[in-house]
Each structure stands twice: as C-alpha cells, then as structure tokens.
Chain A
Amino acid sequence: MNFEFSEEQVMIKDSVARFVRDEYDFDTRRKIIESQEGISRDFWTMFAELGWLSIPFAEEYGGFGGSVEDTVAIMQELGKGIVVEPYVSTVVIFGGLLSASTNEALKAEYIPKIIDGSCLGSFAFLERQSRFEITDIATTAVESGAGYTLNGEKTVVFNAATSNSLIVAARTSGEQFQRQGISLFMVDATSPGVTINSYKTMDGQSASTISFADVQVSASDLLGAVDQGMDIVDQVMPAILLALSAEALGIMEMLNSITVDYTKTRQQFGTPISSFQALQHRMVDTFMACEQSKSLLYRGLCQATEVAKNPHLGSAELHKSVHALKAMVARNGKLIGEEAIQIHGGIGITDELNIGHYVKRLMTINVAFGDGDYHQKKFNQLSYSAL
C-alpha cells in the first residue's frame, strides 16, 4: 500500500508546477483573460509539445497511455495556477468521452488532433430546464436518410468559444428524463445550423449557449451505440469528477498557504496577526478541510485504479466515493475560500489580489456536473435506498 505518486508522475507534476511558477504568473494570466480569445494558443501549443495533451490517451492513437492518476497529478498543479486553458474540457471531458466510445474511426481521427493541439473540444449536455440532471434532455436527433437531424439548445457549454468540435448529447428516443434513448454525436462547431453565443465566466474562462437548427450529422458521427450515450457518460464521469476535484484541491492548497503566509507578515496591534488564537484555529480547520478532501480524492483514485484493473468487480463503490468527493470538495472549498477572504480582511475582497480569483474558480468547479447538495443526494441514494 502506498499513496505516493510514481517517479514518472512526479516528473510530470514538477514540469506543470514549473510552468505555473515560471511562466504563468498572475499578470500573465490576467492578460490572457483580457485577450481576444481568452486563452493562449502559444501555451496550448507548448502543452502539446510537452506531451501534456497526450497523457490519458491510448498509445495506438499516439497517446502516453496514462491513467486517471496522471491527469489528476496534472490538474492539481494547473489548479495552483488557475490556468484558464481548457485542459479539463478538451483532454479530460471531450477526450475522455471519445476514448470511451466504440467508434474507432472517430477516435483515430480526433484523438491525434487533440494530442497535437489542433483540436479543442467541448461537451454540450446541459439545457435550460435540466439544472444538474444530465438525462433531462429535450434536444432531439431524428433519423433522416443516412444520418440524423439535430434540433434544440444547449446552455452553459464550457469553453465552447474556443472549441472546433462539440460532443452533443441528444435524444434519439425515449422520454425527457429517460436514461435510455440519449445518444452522443460529434458535431463540427462550424456546421450549418449551429449558432454559438459565448460569454465570459467569473473564473476567467468562458461558456456558451448553442442552438442547433436542423443540423445534419451522419451515423458515423455517433460516439457509440445509438440510445446508449449515457453508458459512455457514466463510464467517464468518475474521471471527470476526480480531475475537477484535483484542480479544486490545488486551489485549496494555494488559498491555505497564501493565507497562512499573509498572517505571518500582516501586523496589527503591534504583532503579526498569526499570533491570534481566533485566527489560528480557523486556519487549522481549513488545513484539516484540505487534508480530508485530499484523502477522499485518493480514495476515489485508488478505487478508479481497482475498477480499471478488475472491471468485473463493478464500480458502485467508486461512484459512491466520487459523489462523496465532489460533495466534500464543494463544502470544504467554500469554507476555505470564505476563510481566505475573511482572514485577509479588506484586501481579500479586492480584484487586485489573487485570492478572489482562486475563489471564483473554486465556485465554478463547485457547480460543474452537480453541486455539493446534488452529489450528496446521489450518494444518499446509492448508500441508503437499499437499507
């Protein structure tokens, strides 16, 4: 039993950490966010050259053949720099869905383009009415000729403003909330009938409302079997939640260490405020909140590894763990963010300081793929409904 990252993982982690430290300072990040595209294509090319975009993909497509552990190691470091380039959207989510699909032609076409940095992708699943229920899908894909016609609207599609390709969840059969009947389609972002309205989000990234009006896709654009799209989504969801939680953990670690350091230098009443017990105990609580979150992350990782090794054992425990993880990250992230602001005092609420920007990314992660209450409820269903 051990909870260390491997030598190889430590090397990757270190190289991401070096990038964040040496090249991604707060001003650089601010300039990127204020730029036309809102991301740095130069950095994205650099990620490709350093091999970071290849990590989770199978070797047969030119990937590194890595595991969830590898992406988690990267995400934790990217979180420390609140890097806005869409690693999660493109590599973990879009790439993850693609990897889990059974459409070999699509994989052979798209995965190499993700790896070389030329393809950025987003997953369009959410709709106005659906809040956190992925299965609440009204967008339709109706068979027509050799393909399908898509009609409907997707909201809050993360990072679609810079994506060339979209994976769209649409209903090919069944009722609005049914799990069965949802299919995943690869759609070119410039296809006729696709209209993308993008906006900035508070974390320095972007999202889009996308409408589909008689968009034609071919049957070969289906990611897996028709009507069975949720199988793919469910299969990838633990990796998505683990990656987002790892990013959140990196942020929590930063917030805690910045805050602890600040109290050691800030003087009031003739003494550093770190000497006040009222503040010390709050910082101990945020330290514990961070360590407990890390422990649940490791729990999820270990179980993901076990499921990958022994698929026949089933993934019920893994799903319970990642629901618990996302719920805890939401709760502890909120605590740590709010305490960081409070302990900094007035300066904590200024735009100039990095604290607020870390907090805003945490808040965005907290709602992504379901907020804390949503995941806790899912955890409850899995844990208690059979008792």
Chain B
Amino acid sequence: MDINFSAQDLEFRDEVRAFFASEYDEKVAQSLSSGAGEDYKQAIVSWQKKLFAKGWIAPGWPKEYGGTGWSVTQKFIYETERGAAGIPDVVPFGLKMVAPVIYTFGNEDQKARFLPRILSSEDWWCQGYSEPGAGSDLAALSTTAEYAGDNYIVNGRKIWTTFAQYADWIFCLVRTSKDVRKQQGISFLLIDMKTPGVSVKPIPTIDGKHSLNEVLFEDALVPRENLIGEQDKGWTYAKALLAHERTGMAEVADSKRMLANLKKRAAAEINGGQPMIADAVFQMRLSDIEMELMALEYTELRVFASMASGGTPGPESSLLKIKGTEISQSIHELQLQLAAYYGGALQGQLSNQQLGHDFAGEARKSYMYGRAATIYGGSNEVQRNVIAKAVLGL
C-alpha cells in the first residue's frame, strides 16, 4: 500500500491550488453563496467562464471535444482541491449530464451545435426526467412525443427540474412507443425552452428558495434533428449517463470543509460558559460524523486508486453516494443544532448583527435543502436495492 502521489501529481496539485487561490476570491465566493435569483445565475456563469478560459471546465470530457486530457489522478486531485477550497461544482446538467450523451450517442451536427456552447456556458441546460408518476420508477414516465412530419409533438409534465427558470435547453426522456416493455419505448430529446407550448412553474421548497420547477409541454413542436441516437433507444443512453453521474458523489472534500467550518463554529458557540466544542455529548456527535468521513475518504481513495491503475471500481464504489449523502446531511443537522433558537429565524432583510447570530440562516437552509441529497440521483433506498442485487447477489 502506498498513499503518496507522484512528484508530477503534487506539482499539478500546487498549480490547481494556486489557480483557485488567485481566481476564486472573496467576491466570487460571496456572489455564489447567495443561492438563487438572477444574480446567482450570472455569478455561476461568470465563474464557469473563468474555468472555460483556463481550459479546465470539462475534465471529464474527451480531449477532442474540449476536455483537459488529464489522468484519473489529476481529475481526482482537481475535484479534491475544488471541494477543499469551498468552490461549488459546475452546474452539472449541461457539462456532466447531457454533454456525455451528446458526444457518445449524438451525431456530428449535434456535437458541433451543442458541445461548444455547453463548454463556454452560453447555454444553460436542465434535466427533464422525473414526472409526477415517475420518480424512482423512472421508466414509468408518460410524457409523450408523437412523430408527425419532421417534428415530434410533445405533451406532458416534468417535475423537480432544477434551475429550469434559467435554462435555455432541456434534455428529456419522452415516450415514443406504447405497447412495448416500458423501457423500450423511450426516446432522448433535446428541447429549446423557448419553444411555444413549453412553460415553467416554480416549486417552492422547504428552504424558502426557488430552485425546483415543473416544466409543462403542451403540443410543443420539437424538430426531428433534436433526437439523440435512435428513436425508442433513449433508456439505454440515459442509463449510460446515470453511471457517469454516480462517480464522484461522495463529495468527501466538500464534507471535510463543511466539518472544519462546523468545528470553528462550535468553538465560538458558548453554552453555560463553555464552548460547544468542549461539550462531551457534542464531541461524540461530531466524532460520529468525523470518523465516518475519515473512512469514506479512504473508501473514495480505494475506488480512485483502482481506477487510476486501469481497473474497474470494486464493490466499495457503490456505497459512495449513500454514505456521502448521509454524512453531509448529518453535518447539516449538527450545524442547525448548533444554531439553537436562531435556526428558526426567517431573517429577511435583518442583518446577522441585528439577529444576534451569524450562520443561522445558512444552517436552516442547508439543512432543509440538504434533505434532497438522499432523494435525488437515485434515492438511497434505490441505491440499497442496487447494491443488494449487483454486489450481494440477493
């Protein structure tokens, strides 16, 4: 066993670190922490344009389409440094979700038309998968696309669509054939959000923010050239994408940073004249999380090391999403607990100074929205079903 990176990899790490330190300044950080609103979109786009200018926007892409050509190790280091610096990941829908489908299954025209604009963050994408009647059982989706002339006529309703309010495009799974096995009649369509008949309706969430939406399709005409691959083969393409989505869901570096913050805050919160970090019960709750995170860090390293040596990830990779999200939720829980009374305050325009507390609002919002982590990307119960079948052979 050997835990060390090579000298070249360490050099690369220093380069990444230096870039983040100089480019991700206080102003950028501040603008990205606001959470939602038009400003938020602009902040993200301008940060992503910086990464694009540097050539680092799409480490996961093949080099010919604008990827970095990094090794597995370099990609891992980049992700780790990003999380450690507290920099949010790029918005995944374009760069990490639809792009791999386009460059893997799309035709040359589609690649030329969409990939450069995703890379430069000119187009904002959102994901049209879930429906009111199709959650964990995604293949039960019922939004239809009827082929007529050179167009598909799309009707139906997509739900939980993150950032649809900002989006220029949506990639959708739609039903193109009935009376076949439900997975077999699904197609993968790219739809311009400005198409007549497409409308967006906000779904307010328990964190008080607006990130989720419903997207309605009423006789929306989508040109045939926007179909990816073959009609009725969309499920296959989507499954390949899900595999892409699952890697890197442990978010160890992000959790490590949140935990470090939490500890600082616990040292400043006083109860009975004693900082909470010195409270024996609080310490136990803290170390319950910290020990799991220390383990998960090495679980992730094990997965990474086997990939770096050209192997496939072992069965341990399957637990990254479950453990990663459980850990981030438990950090949110403890942070809200730390905020005590103040955690319930709806601050509005009231300053932290006036409220008498400086992270209560953030603690409440991240706890509330953080509940979604064990639901999205395949709920943790579905993840357990997958492990039971694929790893344990049950």
Contacts and interface: CB of A to CB of B under 8 A. Distances in A.
Interface in A244-302: 260, 263-264, 274-275, 277, 279-281, 283-285, 287-288, 291-296, 298-299, 301-302
A164 interface: no
B295 A328 contact: yes
A264 B389 CA distance: 12
B286 interface: yes
B381 A281 contact: yes
Given A69-B1, A263-B394, A284-B392, A1 B287 contact: no
Given A260-B392, A296-B295, A3 B302 contact: yes
A264 B393 CA distance: 9
Interface in B50-73: 73
B4 A1 contact: yes
Contact of A298 (B1, B73, B278): B1
Contacts of A299: 294-295, 297-298
A306 interface: yes
B2 A260 contact: no
Interface stretch (A176-184, A351-359, A375-383): A375-383
A306 B4 CA distance: 9
**Count class of interface residues, chain A:** 35 or more
Residue among B283, B286, B305 with max Cβ neighbours from chain A (10 Å): B283
Contacts of A187: none
Nearest to B290: A383
B164 to A, nearest CB: 33
Contacts of B391: 284, 287
A324 B284 CA distance: 12
Given A1-B308, A292-B323, A376-B284, A274 B394 contact: yes
A327 interface: yes
A127 B286 CA distance: 32
A288 B322 contact: yes
B180 interface: no
Given A324-B291, A328-B291, A376-B284, A288 B394 contact: no
B287 A376 contact: yes
Nearest to B381: A281
Given A260-B394, A380-B283, A2 B296 contact: no
Contact of A295 (B5, B298, B385): B298
A1 B316 contact: no
Contacts of A285: 384
Interface in B296-331: 296-299, 301-302, 304-306, 308-309, 315-316, 319, 322-323
Dominant secondary structure of chain B at its interface with chain A: helix
Interface string A1-42: 111110000000000000000000000000000000000000
Contacts of A303: 3
A284 B2 contact: no
Given A292-B299, A296-B294, A379-B291, A3 B1 contact: yes
Residue of B277, B286, B291, B385 contacting most chain A CB atoms (<10 Å)? B291
A280 B1 contact: no
B263 interface: yes
Interface in B165-220: none
Contacts, number: 135
Contacts of B263: 384, 387
A305 interface: yes
Interface size class, chain B: 35 or more
Interface in A56-78: 69
Contact of A376 (B291, B309, B316): B291
Contacts of A327: 287, 291
B287 A4 contact: no
A304 to B, nearest CB: 10
Contacts of A324: 287, 290-291, 294-295
Given A264-B394, A281-B381, A287-B387, A295 B302 contact: yes
A321 B305 contact: no
B346 interface: no
B4 to A, nearest CB: 6
A284 B387 contact: yes
B276 to A, nearest CB: 10
A3 B305 contact: yes
Contacts of A5: 1
Interface string A157-200: 00000000000000000000000000000000000000000000
A188 to B, nearest CB: 39
Contacts of A298: 1, 298, 302
Contact of B301 (A3, A288, A291): A3
A2 B263 CA distance: 31
Interface string B269-299: 0000001011010011011001110111111
A223 B394 CA distance: 54
B137 to A, nearest CB: 15
Nearest to B9: A1
B221 to A, nearest CB: 43
A384 B322 contact: no
Contacts of B319: 287-288, 291-292
A369 B296 CA distance: 25
B175 to A, nearest CB: 28
Contacts of B277: 384, 387
Contacts of A2: 1-2, 305, 309
B2 A295 contact: no
A384 to B, nearest CB: 5
Contacts of B309: 2
A306 B392 contact: no
B18 interface: no
Interface in B67-83: 73
The 3 closest A-B pairs by CB, nearest first: A295-B298, A280-B388, A302-B3
17 contacts: A1-B305, A3-B305, A264-B393, A277-B388, A280-B392, A288-B322, A291-B299, A291-B316, A292-B295, A292-B296, A294-B316, A295-B302, A296-B295, A305-B1, A376-B284, A384-B283, A387-B277
Given A292-B299, A328-B291, 18 more contacts: A2-B305, A260-B392, A263-B394, A275-B394, A277-B388, A279-B394, A280-B384, A281-B381, A291-B319, A292-B295, A293-B295, A296-B298, A298-B298, A299-B295, A299-B298, A324-B290, A376-B284, A384-B277
